[in-house]
Amino acid sequence: MEQLSTQFLFTALVILIILSGFFSSSETSLIALNRYKLKHQASKGHRGARLAKRLLGKPDRLIGLILFGNNLVNVLASFIVSMLTLRLLGDGSLAFWVSAVGFTFVLLIFAELAPKTMAVEYPEKIAFPASFVLTPLMRVFFPIVVAINFTANGILRLFGVKPRAGAIEQLTRDELRTIVSDSHRDISDDHQQMLLNILDLEHGRIEDVMVPRGEVVGIDLKEDWNTILEQLSQSLYTRLPVYEDDLDNIVGLLHIRTVLARLSQGRLTFNDLKRSVRKPYFIPEGTSLTQQLLEFQRLERRMGMVVDEYGDIQGLVTLDDILEEIVGDYTTDARAVGNKQVRRMDDGAWLVDGGASLRMLNRQFGWELPTDGATTMNGLVLEILELIPDGKVGLRIQDQVFTVADVGDNSIRKVLVKPYVAKV
């Protein structure tokens, strides 16, 4: 009978150690769950995910239940170890220390370290099944858990700590950017870059992507009618601003599709052209790309004229210009035909047009040119030099050396860019 009682105690001790490991692994796995993935799985109807999400909705109660269960089984296990020590080794101090050290070692390995390590490696495989056990346990021990939490929270309030429930935290833009950047295995490089571009869109301004005033192609109603017809028939653009004498005297915006049928039949008249012109749409300088994208969508517009604080037209921007900031270049830029903004030289250097966008250069070549001030290569060099150079001038920006290669019309036309090589 005594042998059977000892065997029973050993069996009970093993079961209690397994239960302690269960509570330890449950706590670690639930905390280690990816909250956003959990929310997605729960919305798809995964039962284990829904139970885990519900438990994590009240983290203080969940932790209270797990700690209550873990401490309960550990105390019972300690009691059984004491009984076995008295029965097998006697009541001497040596026996006490041997059992205490031995039980601590067993508890650390089999009830703490091994279960928690496995929980960190496979949080979903452990947390979801554990939720099926913890959910009914929460109902059974609910009064005890509430009493424990009430007491613990009351003590915390004495120290000015107010516990807050909630499993899903708010992410900042930078934190979300880090998550996307670290998702190489789950998201393709192209899709990852588009997501990052969307996050960066808020930092961009409308003047970063606009066509500068000097490069705007439009219809001047004061021109000879035959010249206008020829321009319409040969235009590489589908939308054109229409003005009288000067771009500041803009009449409106023309979609060539509205006059294409009459134009192809040779029946287009001056009055037909004016009737097809849509009222101009103006965009203030400094507007963020994200805001303007939403405005284009709300107003069902695809083109607008950028104006400064005095109402003077500074350039033109289209919906495609903003979308290319997200997906990259996908349209043929008629302005670049026969005169590319960036050209690779035989020695590996880059010959960059002064009007090239800094954001485009950063995106295409992985450079880190500052975009908080100037928006073009010409503007950046002039901003640093604080004068218009009258010859070749070199300067270092980040890890590149910029050499002014051509100056004209009070602006820098070409800049030669080479990697900076430190002299030994």
Domains of the chain and CATH, by start: 2-158 (no CATH), 206-336 (3.10.580.10), 342-419 (3.30.465.10)
Burial label for 346, CB within 10 Å (0-12, 13-18, 19+), is exposed
Q: Which of 122, 123, 128 is nearest to 49 (CA)?
A: 128
State the Cα–Cα distance between residues 203 and 212, nearest whole angstrom: 20
Residue 7: partners with Cβ closer than 8 Å, 6 or more residues away: none
Q: Per residue of the chain (424 residues), what is the pLDDT tens digit?
A: 455 477 888 888 889 999 999 999 998 888 888 787 888 888 888 898 899 888 888 888 888 899 899 999 988 988 888 888 777 776 666 667 777 788 888 888 888 899 999 998 999 999 999 999 999 999 998 898 888 888 887 887 888 777 665 444 566 667 677 777 666 666 777 777 777 778 777 778 888 888 888 788 899 998 999 898 888 888 888 889 999 988 989 999 999 888 888 888 888 888 889 899 999 999 998 898 889 999 999 988 999 999 988 888 988 999 988 888 888 765 545 444 334 678 888 777 888 888 887 877 887 777 888 877 777 888 888 888 888 887 778 888 777 888 888 888 778 888 888 887 766 5
| Entry pTM | 0.57
What is the pLDDT, as a whole number, of residue 207?
A: 83
Which two three-digit tokens encode residue 83?
Answer: 């009984």
Query: Please, are residues 47 and 11 in contact by the beta-carbon 8 Å criterion?
Result: no
| Three-state SS annotation for 318-367 | EHHHHHHHHHCCCCCCHHHCCCCCEEECCCCCEEEECCCEHHHHHHHHCC
In terms of DSSP bridges, do strands 411-419 and 400-408 run parallel, antiparallel, or are they unpaired? antiparallel
Helix (H) or strand (E) holding 404: strand 400-408
Query: Please, are residues 88 and 94 in contact by the beta-carbon 8 Å criterion?
Result: no
Instruction: Name the residue type at position 282.
Output: F
3-state secondary structure of 372: coil
